[in-house]
Chains A and B, each alone.
Chain A
Amino acid sequence: MAYIVSPNPHIHAAVSTRKLMLDVIIALCPAVIVSFLYYGLSEIAIMAFSVASCVVLEWAITKYLLKKASTTGDLSAIVTGILLAMNLPPTCPLWVVFIGAVVAIAVAKMTFGGIGQNIFNPAITGRVFLLVSFPTFMTDWTVPAGFISNVDAFSGATLLGQVPILGALEADKLVNLQTLFRNIGGSAGEISALALLAGWVYLLVRKVIKPWITLSIFATVAVVACIFHLADPAQFTGPLFNLLTGGVILGACFMATDYVTSPMSTWGGVIYGVGIGFIVMMIRYFGSYPEGMSFAILLMNMAVPLINMKFHQRKFGRK
């Protein structure tokens, strides 16, 4: 009998990349189901197509271009596919979805060497590429027929998009605690704050991620919104409006916390979160786009290597 010999340790925690990604997928399920209920078959089609495109693309690139063992088994392509779909309007044509998947997987992920090597969050890169390339498709917020009626649905603009039309005072009135359960209009990942937060809590309980990045984004958004809102409520929307509308919750819970593109130390994560929160508020208040979560995350993604260089864990016995 030939026994195994290896250096220590001889046991391993019940953790693997695949299990972590599976947990992220499970955590996204509530929000995905809510989006299916409200946006119906068209959303199911986008989701299925996005996931399938991402997985097939990654498999094909590893197999035929890189000629390496396929990495699709780690399920990270599925996560990217879901996140990409959640960032798109429910009326997005499937060929646009496919281009988004190509940019996310082929450009943002695989050109850097695959999982763990990329600088930018793949799903957000895909979304931003589509936003600047196909602004008409990406800002068409017509609400399709879902399994739950959408009688009070706006068409043509999200809540954030209403701000320039209605003014900050009126827009603020549209947001109340009900928005926590159900947002009106917007991409699939913007519908239910509660479903997203439930998934985030699941990730925290399963110790997949730590809360600091998300909390620092929320806190920064709230603080910045408070300051500006108190200064001029007629021009600047309030903290509740800014927390509950748009992509802040999806971004803060699932996109900014992406392992690969976020800092590794706790304090680095806080700095990163503060940066995202600040940038997103600046874009919302002063930028030409109504929403800036994607840009904020991408910009801070760029700063991650610098943050990692500056912030280290406290070493034992050293100042």
Chain B
Amino acid sequence: MSKITFAIGGVHPDDAKLARGCAIEVLPLPQTMYVSMAQHLGAPAKPIVAVGDKVKTGQVIAEPGGFISAFVHAPASGTVKSIAPRKDLAGNNVMHVEIAVEGDEWVEGVDLSDTLVTEIPEDRAAILDKIKACGVVGLGGATFPTHVKLNPAPGSVAECLILNGAECEPYLTSDYRIMLERTKEIIVGAAIMQKVLGGCRTVIGIEENKPEAIEAMGKALATLPYKGIEVLPLKKKYPQGGEKQLIQAVMHREVGSGGLPISVGAVVQNVATSLAVYEAVQKNKPLITNTLTITGNCLPVERQHNYLFRIGMPLSYIAEYAGGVPEGAAKLVSGGPMMGRAIANLDAATVKGSSSILYLSEASTRRGQESLCIRCGRCADACPMGLEPFLLRRLYAAGDLEALEKNAVQDCIECGCCLYSCPAYIPLLDHIRQAKGQVMAAIRARAAAQKSNTKQ
């Protein structure tokens, strides 16, 4: 039993990894794909193709729209049918490039073979360029452009690269499956990132409810020539995969409020990102695929799947391919049940960060009737950031932004532990997220005002 985990708060939901035994299957291409221009953190990408253009699989169809942004590539070959707003999974209009799929003809220079390439290029800048050109973003949820994260500001030193294989969200098994099936590729990806960061210590953190993955990683590491990479089994606790929590569990250091992981010498990357880095650098393959779990408590076990999907496939297409929405599904979630987003529009297209279609039954997901706070303090016990959600909610209701900031509402990581554990079903996080937004805006406004003052 591993005792290594983060220190404050956390909850223990049933892990329900129902699809853990399902090997990854490749989804066939649909007739039409819709590639979102906003599938990464930061500025949306700018389309560089025109309606009627022929595109090949892997061809760049959009350029970064800012410093924090990413390239987007065609997920299949075909014709650009339209470039227009289309509703995303929340029902909001987002610019999409629609591609009428005509085949799967790849662009030149991509290594499509299965051979493992263990030789790592020497040139650090070239590696970063490749990662950027292939549109790699963090696949752990935040979809932050990877090349930015791997290139810390001058003066800061990466002491430890942490590979996030915690997959602490219940139900999700896509990371688990790639750790089993693409073990060596992930390790090579880690070695590449290790090299970019200057050869720091590298830790692959895996929760101990995935012993097969821990074992597979350990065995693969023994056969590969890289130094300074280790596997660290972690005690199962949500939200272990939270960046700050994982750093604390592994390095016993706490990232300060508003600080970046690099401030304590840490860089965290998801295992799926590591795989994408491997494919980009060693195979020259852009990020147009990812793994997605079809699971849920109202889906029969034989209908659970782990799929390798192409970015831009509509969720409804994948759901139909897997036999349709099961009876008894009351809520559809993209992502895990703790932090995922409810799907309001199943016709929405998959994006780089898509990790699941989760079907939840009414009994398991419907919120209970809200009642009065009994001051049991469970929310405060559960909060992994050490906040007091009951207090923050009260302050938000009173509109006291100053007190909210003093009580660190801006540190909230929106993990959902407070609402998960509230016996009175008070929508704590719903309100705290609003409060956080307002306080962050006030902090930014203050910083901007200060900046302009110092300039004068």
Contact = CB atoms under 8 A, between A and B. Distances in A.
Q: Check A-B contact in the complex, CB < 8 A.
A: yes
Nearest to B383: A313
A115 B371 CA distance: 9
A66 to B, nearest CB: 12
Contacts of B13: 11, 13
A16 B373 CA distance: 11
Contact of B380 (A3, A12, A313): A313
Contact of A316 (B371, B386, B421): B386
Nearest to B377: A264
Q: Which of B341, B364, B372 has the most CB of A within 10 A?
A: B372
A9 B374 contact: no
Contact of B377 (A16, A259, A315): A259
A8 B421 contact: no
Main secondary structure of the interface of B (DSSP, over half): loop
A76 to B, nearest CB: 8
Contacts of B219: none
Nearest to A209: B376
A67 interface: no
B338 A10 contact: yes
Given A4-B330, A17-B423, A312-B388, A317 B259 contact: yes
B425 interface: yes
A11 B8 contact: no
Interface stretch (B53-61, B93-101, B207-215, B412-420): B412-420
B365 A11 contact: yes
A114 B372 contact: yes
A15 interface: yes
Contact of A260 (B331, B374, B383): B374
A17 B424 contact: yes
A13 B11 CA distance: 9
A24 to B, nearest CB: 11
Contacts of B170: 11
A235 interface: no
Interface string A200-219: 00000000000000000000
Nearest to B16: A11
Interface residues of B, number: 65
Contacts of B375: 116, 259-260, 264
B24 interface: no
A264 B341 contact: no
Contacts, number: 149
Interface string A102-138: 0000000000011111000000000000000000000
Contacts of B162: none
B30 interface: no
Interface in B383-405: 383-388, 390
Contacts of B390: 264
A4 B362 contact: yes
Contacts of B408: 315, 318
A151 interface: no
Interface in B348-380: 358, 360, 362, 364-368, 371-378, 380
A44 to B, nearest CB: 29
A74 interface: yes
A262 to B, nearest CB: 8
Nearest to B335: A8
Contact of B332 (A3, A15, A20, A265): A3
Given A17-B371, A116-B373, A314 B338 contact: no
Contact of B430 (A1, A7, A10): A7
A1 B325 contact: yes
Contacts of B378: 15
Contacts of A91: none
Nearest to A10: B337
B257 A12 contact: no
A71 interface: yes
B255 A317 contact: yes
B372 A315 contact: no
A318 to B, nearest CB: 6
A312 B378 CA distance: 14
Contact of B385 (A8, A17, A316): A316
A262 B122 CA distance: 62
A4 B363 CA distance: 12
Nearest to A260: B375
Given A9-B338, A11-B365, A17-B424, A74 B371 contact: yes
B43 interface: no
A265 B343 contact: no
Contacts of B377: 259, 264-265
B330 A3 contact: yes
A282 B13 CA distance: 46
A5 interface: yes
Nearest to A114: B372
A8 B340 contact: yes
Contacts of B366: 4
Given A11-B338, A313-B386, A316-B386, A20 B423 contact: yes
Given A11-B338, A265-B377, A316 B362 contact: no
Interface in A1-48: 1, 3-13, 15-17, 19-20
Contacts of B259: 317
Interface string B10-35: 01010000000000000000000000
A71 B424 CA distance: 12
A317 B254 contact: yes
B341 A8 contact: yes
B423 A19 contact: yes
A15 B423 contact: yes
Given A4-B331, A259-B377, 5 more contacts: A5-B331, A9-B420, A11-B337, A71-B372, A318-B256
11 contacts: A3-B329, A3-B331, A4-B366, A7-B427, A7-B430, A8-B429, A12-B368, A13-B420, A265-B377, A313-B386, A315-B385
Interface of A: 1, 3-13, 15-17, 19-20, 71, 74, 76, 113-117, 259-260, 264-265, 312-318
